[in-house]
Every structure is written in C-alpha cells, then in structure tokens.
A and B are shown apart, each in its own frame.
Chain A
C-alpha cells in the first residue's frame, strides 16, 4: 500500500512538472509582444524594450521558465500584467469561490446520479430506466449556456424564486450563500448527471449479473443487503474514477457558467486574462486548475485502491 502511494505521489509530481512546462510553453509561444501590449501603441520602442528587459522577456525561454519556477516555488505567481496586482491576490479568493460552487454542485450531483444510475440499472429496460437515461443524455448534450439561460429565465425571472446572479451580498449567511449558488450548481449538475449516472448504471448492471451476486442471492442474503454489500461496492469503482475526472471539469470548466451567473470565480478570471493577454494571470490560473485536477485524480486513485483489494495488495499472489 505504501509503495503504491509513493509511486502515485511520484507520478503526480512528474505530471506537475510536465504541466508547468506545458503551461509556460503555451503562453510563451502566443504571438503577442507582452510589453507592447501592456504599454499600448503609443509607447516608444525604447520604453517597450525597457519593460521587456524589466520583465525578463529578452532572456532565453528556458531562463524565463527557470525564473518563473523559482518564483512559483516561493508561492509567488507573479504580477498581473493588466491590473498590476499580485496574481495570487486575484486568484486565491476566486479559487475559494469556485471551490464553493464546485462543492455545492458535487454534493448534489454525486448522490443524485449514483441513485439515478442504480435505479436505472435495477429497472433495466423499463420506463424508469428509459426516463433516467434519456433525461441524463439530453441534459449532457445541451450546452451549459442553454441550461443556464433556461434556469435563469424559469426560476429567476419568471418565478422569482432564486437570484439570477451568483454573487452574494457582502454580509451573507450560509443559507443565503446556498440560495445564490443553487442555480449555477444546477446548471453544472445538468451537465454531469447524465455521464455519471450512465457509468453507474453500467457498473451496477455488470455487478448484478456477476457470479458473486448470484452466490450472495443463493446464500439467501436479503435483496437490499446484496445490493449494498455485494453489488454497489464493486459497481461504484468505475464511477469513482469518472467522478474524479469530472471534478477537474467542475473547477476548470466553470468559465461559461461563472460568466453566465456573473460569479467571481477562477473561470471568470481565466477568461478575462485571455481577453487581456494577461499572460501571468493566465499561467497562474491554468496552473491552479491543473493542481486541483491532479489532486482530485490522486484522491480518486487512493479511494479506488482502498475499495479494490486487488490493487491494494499489489496484484495476484
């Protein structure tokens, strides 16, 4: 188990390094002159050159990368080119907001879709199964901005049940927070439900048909116990892997929804950074999303191995 853990951690570290290279390279090859961009068209070439030197842009790319990494190691993500504020100051509060939204969506979507997928599997081929499968699929197929607009129009503008913006007033209680975050979370849930439910359904069907489930039934084990103890434990393994990758989406894929609901999250910042050619902010944002994604995958791997003795024990004996 320890060996498995260490190997996974080492792998995550390598991924992290590769990711930082990619992120840096991506922004380094964007065909814009950062200094020119910051100073505008009226600046003289000399001024531009000075700024380039100041930013270290006249140095070879690998040295730029090295300088960037060194600062990263000290927790310094650089200074935003557009607002001249430290990137960390901008992104960390935004990250907190995004995590709140993601957590809310996560808490709704995971139990809901596992329940939906399990019910569909138990009623395979019947009306309930078709309903769940078709609903899930249609919701997944619909782009986020369409679901968002439908939600805003129905619950915000027409019925006035929920606020249409996700940005809470300054002094908010936990309850207010939930009301403000409910609509955008639902938009996220709509995207993810179909996918997770589908994987769950497939996993449960496979486990229901497995020989060990037959063994349990013919032992005279009660139906509910068979489902919980024998079926779900094996069936949910693939679901966990999927949920983990989707958590990455929950953080990184929020751009559209955060913009739709005018929410001050990391997705919105990334979008604005891209608009303004704010390279440092963009690098920081993408890197943070990447780290969250990696962490989620790592946690899922550990969870998966905890539930699956074959991995934990390191293969067949």
Chain B
C-alpha cells in the first residue's frame, strides 16, 4: 500500500442541491498527487477548486453530495470512513491550510492551546502536547515561538497567523497537505516568505501537497504539475512548465493572456479577456464545458464531449482542437490611441511635503512624512508598498477624506482645502475614487439607476431627462448593459459591480480618479476587462489615475510613473519602466523579487527580514535600514538619505551611489 499515490481522485462527481435540484459542481475530475509531489489546482472562482478540496476532507456543506467517483488518500478510501475513523484520519493523515488565517484561528483561545490541540486529539498528554506545539512553531521559523504560544490570534500579523496554521497542518506529518489559496490577501513580501517556507518544508519533509490557487505565478513557483479546472472539469493537466508555456486548451491560453506580465504596458496594447461568463452552477453541458466562451468552438464542441488527448508524456488536454488551441484569436485586438503625457504643462494635481500624523494610544503615528509628487493630466501614477506603507492614507488625504497634518495640495495650481467640507463642488467632483470592494462601496438597497442618478445629481447637478441621458452614456462607456438599470448590486457579478463603481466615479466627469486596489477582489479574466476599461476611459476622457495595487504586474501595466512608499516616506519615484528595470531602490528591488511570476526563474528572491516596523517608532536614519539587504553601514543607521533626482525624473532615497546600485543589481546571485 505504501506506493499508492498520496491522493488519488477518480471520476469525482459532486453536486449541490439547490431548491431541491441537484446542481453539478465537479464533473468527473480525475487527478493523482504522487508521494512527495506538489500538485497545483488552478482556476477562477466558481470553478470548483475549493469544492474538490472539501470533498477530499469530507467536509462538503450540508447540501453538497459526492454522487460518484472515488477519493483515496495514501491508499485509504476516504469515502468509506465511518464517523470515528474519519475523525482519526483527519487528526493524523491530512493537514489543511486556509485562505484567511485570521478567521481560521479561534479568536478566544491562545495560540498555544490551539496548536497543542493537534497533538491532544491524537491522544498525546497535555504536557507533551505543549512541548510539541513549541517544536511545531519552531519548524515554521516564527519569531519568538515561546511568546507566540501565549498570545491570541489577533495579536499576530497575517503572515504569523498563516505560519501558525501551517505549523498545525504539518505537525501531524500528514500524508497529504492541502493548501487552499494560502497567500491570497497577504502582502507580496509576506506571501513570498510564506511560499518560501512552504516550499522549503515541502522539500525537506517530502510532504505531498495539493496546492489550490487562482494565481498562475504562485502555482508556477510552488508546483511540479498543474491541473486547470474550469466549470468543474479538469480541462488541462501537465508539468507546470509545459502547461504555462505551451498551453493546449483555449481556456488555459485565454487565462494566461489575461495576466499582464513580461513588462507589458498599456501603450503596448490591450489585455486579452475571456468573453462571456462561467456557466451557471449545474448547467447541462453536453459538449465541451468551455464551448460557449471559446472563439475556436465548432459544432462538435457543443455536442460531443472531448476526450483526453495526450500531448506530452504527462501533458493532457480536453480539447478537440488542442493542436490549434494557441491560435485562439485575440479579442481586444484594436489598440488604443493614448495621448502622450505632456510634462511641460502644469500638473493637474501637485502635493508638497504632505504629512499626516495619527494619535493612537498616546503615540504619534507618522503615516505620511513629507511626501511630494505631481500628477499630470492623462497620466497614471502607480502607488506601491506593503500594507502600512501609507498608500491608502495618501490617497485618502488627496481626496479630502483625511486632513493632512502638514503640507499643501494644489489642484491646477489652486490651493486645495484639507477637508472635503472645505472644498468647492468643482474640486470635489474633480477627484473621485474607485474602491477595492464594490460590495461594500455600493449601497446594496439601491438600484443601479438610483446609485448613478444620485451621483449625477450630487456631482454633476443633473436631474430629469438630462440625467437619464447621461446615465445611459455612462453605462455604455463602462459596458454595463442597460438591462441592469433596475438591478441591485447583489444581482450583479463582481466584474459588473466594479463597472458600476467606475461609472459612479465618472458621473461628475472627474479629472483624477483614485483606484484603490480596484481589481484585487476579481478573477484574472475579469481583472483584464476592468483594466482595459480604465485605460479606455483614460484615452477617451484624458482622466488621470492614482493607481494603488499590490500586484506589480498590474501596476506596471497601467502606470506611467510609479511611486514606492515605505513607512509613509517616498523611497523612489520615476517613470514606470525605469523603476521596474532598475537600478532600483533596494526596497523596490525586494518588492519586485517577492512576486512569483509565471515566467518564473531568473532572479533569486531577496529576503526581507521581519515585518514592517511600527510607524509609531520608525527606525533612525534610513527607515528601511532594519530590513535592507544592501545596507552600507553606520551611515544608513544614523542619517536619513535625502530624496534626490538621480536621473531625469527618477528620484531615489538611498545612500548607495547609483553606479554601485547598478553593479550590485546586475550581478547574478
């Protein structure tokens, strides 16, 4: 039995019963994870990834049911386990790591007891369990493990919480480890640390891993083989390298094209998208599951289910036309005319030495320290940095939601009031925002019409027929079909909701729109469509953006210039391609190297030690010196480097001379 694969799923068919009817979620999924192998399961939301994981754990929701197929973990048939055996099996044979470490830990129990519980359920005495809990935390390289045991989950950072969960999952030395989107929602630098940790432990412990993610870059970094799931069917499977670089299913091809990568920028052309929507849960799909959205589909695709075509030794595609899959026509072929930004003209928005101090528990938190920059008409300024770096504070200050403690803001040369209430209507309508989460930003009790008409009335002073006409225009420009005019946000998909949020922000014909992580809650194919829309609106209306995102590929795609923030200070500011191509500030360098890319390889990751320091007690000298991999010496600890222009329009705050940085960063590590 020992040579049985770690996970063996055959013809798995899972259905959810909704209003008395069975809706099929997984359609005959077959996959194997070999001992010691890392297998990636990739797909967009609603494709059945998590359902597959939960089916393996025998933890489907009450209305979910395995209708057919088999699941074996290390040779044991999971489907046939009785109640007590199931509990023992979960206690010793499988470990799981979840998407939200913050909610996966019990808020009212100390971390130590929660970790120790893994051992007590296996019958270990409580004293020994406590000792082994400490060992488990040491294994995941958490700082000061003994004190972590005494703490409550809310006292740990997101990265530490996820380490605790990983410690619990690995502590039992499981035959199979399931990771369900383990780094979604973590900062890029933290994500990189967690991924490094998992990869390291996986290779040293020879753990078999089922890695579920929507992020192709993460899968490429972590896994040897990958399966692409669409509408509950595994449409393509094979070695990661092959699938990502030689995809043989139109869905995989489309998915890969949606991701802005390899340094593409908005003026290089538009991102490709996947038209249409995921089929409804339980739709009858007699042919290929992707046929309705596939530009290559022919009649037989709609009627005849494709069989598995072997391409390489292990590479399999479920497509009738797998040979020509890569000829999938581009949908968004038309390139846009983007007017070049004229930086000799006066800037649209300029801010000078902006500072913001919060008072918290008697401490001064310096959220922004002397930040100066300008945004020209029709330009996109990208803001990057870890959470806590001040990106959102800066955006909110510019919008007048927060009042700056010091410094000045100028809109077209005119001084701007610190608070929204001290700004004229014209100034308010000139600066608008699109939030990360349209669910909480849109009033769910209001219809699309009411949401848009309210903004039109408040910002553009339009009512009656004029407002109706403008509303139709807005909806057309964001490609929100007019049939949704009476719908409420809950009836719209995530992408449509974000379109509505964008339409809302454009109601008053703004000059500058702050986009605060506008696509991070969306799937990649939807993200591509939203990015295209934003660029399109920029080409048409000449609007400027301040674009905040933790996804550097996305920021690079939309931005003309990039500002890198750390602990509320501007560390680097310059044209997007210069900032990305280097030589970069050591912090920028670390951020860039943290991102797992599909193209993978090439550079080694630069590790950042520990968490971002507290803004209440920022380090002396250069604020980055405590984590800087290129620290020069004492000068970094004592003297804060000034922000100097090292090249045309490229500003940097670092003691290391430019030439030296160039040599350091060019040398292979």
**A211, A308, A317: which contacts B108 (Cβ < 8 A)?**
A308
Chain A residues with Cβ below 8 Å from B155 are 313, 316-317
Let me know if B106 is at the binding interface, CB within 8 A: yes
**B104, B117, B121: which contacts A214 (Cβ < 8 A)?**
B104
Let me know if A295 is at the binding interface, CB within 8 A: no
Chain B residues with Cβ below 8 Å from A317 are 154-155
Given the known A-B contacts A309-B152, A317-B155, are A218 and B59 also in contact in the complex, defined by CB atoms under 8 Å? yes
Let me know if A15 is at the binding interface, CB within 8 A: no
Whether A216 pairs with B107 at a CB distance below 8 angstroms is: no
Let me know if B271 is at the binding interface, CB within 8 A: no
**B92, B96, B107: which contacts A309 (Cβ < 8 A)?**
B107
Chain B residues with Cβ below 8 Å from A313 are 152, 154-155
Let me know if A31 is at the binding interface, CB within 8 A: no
The complex places the Cα of A317 from the Cα of B363 at a distance, in Å, of: 13
In the complex, how many angstroms separate the beta carbon of B70 from the nearest chain A beta carbon? 20
The complex places the Cα of A60 from the Cα of B118 at a distance, in Å, of: 71
Secondary structure call for the A interface? helix
- Stretch among A65-73, A159-167, A186-194, A226-234 lining the B interface: A226-234
Whether B108 pairs with A215 at a CB distance below 8 angstroms is: no
Let me know if A115 is at the binding interface, CB within 8 A: no
The complex places the Cα of A184 from the Cα of B91 at a distance, in Å, of: 50
Chain A residues with Cβ below 8 Å from B96 are 218
Given the known A-B contacts A219-B117, A221-B121, A317-B154, are A212 and B107 also in contact in the complex, defined by CB atoms under 8 Å? yes
Q: Number of B interface residues, CB 8 Å?
A: 29
The complex places the Cα of A316 from the Cα of B152 at a distance, in Å, of: 10
Whether B109 pairs with A220 at a CB distance below 8 angstroms is: no
The complex places the Cα of A230 from the Cα of B153 at a distance, in Å, of: 14
The complex places the Cα of A26 from the Cα of B269 at a distance, in Å, of: 75
Chain A residues with Cβ below 8 Å from B91 are 219-221
Let me know if A307 is at the binding interface, CB within 8 A: yes
Q: Mark B105-118, 1 if CB is under 8 A from A, else 0.
A: 11111000000011
Let me know if B351 is at the binding interface, CB within 8 A: no
Whether B105 pairs with A219 at a CB distance below 8 angstroms is: no
**A222, A230, A307, A308: which contacts B87 (Cβ < 8 A)?**
A222
Let me know if B168 is at the binding interface, CB within 8 A: yes
The complex places the Cα of A220 from the Cα of B168 at a distance, in Å, of: 12
Let me know if A310 is at the binding interface, CB within 8 A: yes
Let me know if B100 is at the binding interface, CB within 8 A: yes
Which A residues between 202 and 226 are near B, CB-CB below 8 angstroms?
A: 210-212, 214-222
Q: Mark A112-147, 1 if CB is under 8 A from B, else 0.
A: 000000000000000000000000000000000000
The complex places the Cα of A230 from the Cα of B104 at a distance, in Å, of: 11
Whether A310 pairs with B152 at a CB distance below 8 angstroms is: yes
Chain B residues with Cβ below 8 Å from A308 are 107-108
Let me know if B321 is at the binding interface, CB within 8 A: no
**A214, A219, A229, A230: which contacts B168 (Cβ < 8 A)?**
A219
The complex places the Cα of A214 from the Cα of B96 at a distance, in Å, of: 10
Whether B92 pairs with A215 at a CB distance below 8 angstroms is: no
A314 closest partner in B (C-beta): B361
In the complex, how many angstroms separate the beta carbon of A127 from the nearest chain B beta carbon? 16
Let me know if B435 is at the binding interface, CB within 8 A: no
Let me know if B343 is at the binding interface, CB within 8 A: no
Chain A residues with Cβ below 8 Å from B108 are 233-234, 307-309
Chain B residues with Cβ below 8 Å from A211 are 98, 100, 103-104
B106 closest partner in A (C-beta): A212
The complex places the Cα of A229 from the Cα of B106 at a distance, in Å, of: 10
In the complex, how many angstroms separate the beta carbon of B99 from the nearest chain A beta carbon? 9
**B90, B100, B103, B361: which contacts A219 (Cβ < 8 A)?**
B90
Let me know if B89 is at the binding interface, CB within 8 A: yes
Whether B106 pairs with A215 at a CB distance below 8 angstroms is: yes
Given the known A-B contacts A229-B109, A234-B107, A309-B107, are A216 and B117 also in contact in the complex, defined by CB atoms under 8 Å? yes
Chain A residues with Cβ below 8 Å from B90 are 217-220
The complex places the Cα of A215 from the Cα of B100 at a distance, in Å, of: 11
Q: Mark A275-317, 1 if CB is under 8 A from B, else 0.
A: 0000000000000000000000000000000011110011011
Chain A residues with Cβ below 8 Å from B121 are 219-222
Chain A residues with Cβ below 8 Å from B87 are 220-222
Chain B residues with Cβ below 8 Å from A307 are 108
The complex places the Cα of A233 from the Cα of B114 at a distance, in Å, of: 14
The complex places the Cα of A28 from the Cα of B117 at a distance, in Å, of: 62
Let me know if B349 is at the binding interface, CB within 8 A: no
A222 closest partner in B (C-beta): B87
The complex places the Cα of A76 from the Cα of B361 at a distance, in Å, of: 42
B118 closest partner in A (C-beta): A219
Which B residues between 58 and 117 are near A, CB-CB below 8 angstroms?
A: 59, 87-92, 94, 96, 98, 100, 103-109, 117
Chain B residues with Cβ below 8 Å from A316 are 154-155
Chain B residues with Cβ below 8 Å from A222 are 87, 121
Which B residues between 229 and 260 are near A, CB-CB below 8 angstroms?
A: none
Chain A residues with Cβ below 8 Å from B106 are 212, 215-216, 230, 233-234
Chain A residues with a Cβ under 8 A of chain B = 210-212, 214-222, 229-230, 233-234, 307-310, 313-314, 316-317
The 9 A-B pairs of least Cβ separation, nearest first, read A220-B91, A220-B90, A211-B103, A212-B106, A309-B152, A317-B155, A211-B104, A220-B121, A215-B104
Given contacts A219-B117, A234-B108, 19 further A-B contacts (CB under 8 A): A210-B103, A211-B98, A211-B100, A214-B59, A215-B98, A218-B96, A219-B90, A219-B91, A219-B118, A220-B88, A220-B89, A220-B90, A220-B122, A221-B121, A222-B121, A234-B107, A308-B108, A309-B152, A316-B155
Chain A to chain B contacts (Cβ below 8 Å), 8 pairs: A217-B59, A219-B121, A220-B121, A221-B117, A233-B108, A307-B108, A308-B108, A310-B152
Chain B residues with a Cβ under 8 A of chain A = 57, 59, 87-92, 94, 96, 98, 100, 103-109, 117-118, 121-122, 152, 154-155, 165, 168, 361
